[in-house]
Chains A and B, each alone.
Chain A
């Protein structure tokens, strides 16, 4: 299994440009997440999904959009990029055990710079 894969690894955007960060998992997990991590900080949840066709906002959703048309893919769309969106973006997926415990698996991240 490849686990959680993200593309691209690095990207530089100009202010006002748009882009889509790709995320794919091959573990058949229902739950998927997008986080951002600013330097020296913990991860903040942007959006999450509990299954195909179902998405919901996390802690910092402004400026982002997501879709979940399949179990495997969970792309994150940035419209009108701003310098405040300069960050490292992590995608994750998870399963839930019979006892309700969640274990998340993370991708390698996308480092985005907006100039």
Chain B
């Protein structure tokens, strides 16, 4: 699986937008970009995924660079409940059903 690089930690203020970056310079043409998050003392939960186009759902937006070598998870208005570790993961789809979790980015949200 191609590797991703994320900052170890980021800080944000409540009700402000948050942009969480992820670099994946060795991404292949069939790799989907997944984001999961892990709230304190809980299992990870799916946030969003995309292939080439930007994606929106009720939780977040995913902005994918034109060359697909980087992506950004956008939380439009951070709340205290968004404080978590965010993981950016590449998955080739098809017969590859395993996800490889790195250390992720620890997001702290200040009140």
Contacts and interface: CB of A to CB of B under 8 A. Distances in A.
A42 B42 contact: no
Interface residues of B, number: 23
Contacts of A61: none
A94 B97 contact: yes
A109 interface: yes
B101 A31 contact: no
A90 to B, nearest CB: 5
Interface residues of A, number: 28
A101 B98 contact: no
Given A90-B44, A100-B95, 7 more contacts: A48-B97, A100-B94, A101-B93, A102-B97, A103-B49, A104-B44, A106-B42
Interface of A: 4, 31, 33, 35, 40-45, 48, 50, 58, 90, 92, 94, 96, 99-109
Contacts of A44: 101
Interface of B: 32, 36, 41-46, 49, 87, 91, 93-104
B99 A102 contact: yes
Contacts of A33: 98
A99 to B, nearest CB: 7
A104 B49 contact: no
B97 A42 contact: no
- Sort A-B residue pairs by CB-CB distance and give the 7 closest, nearest first: A106-B43, A100-B93, A42-B101, A43-B101, A100-B94, A102-B97, A90-B43
A99 B49 CA distance: 12
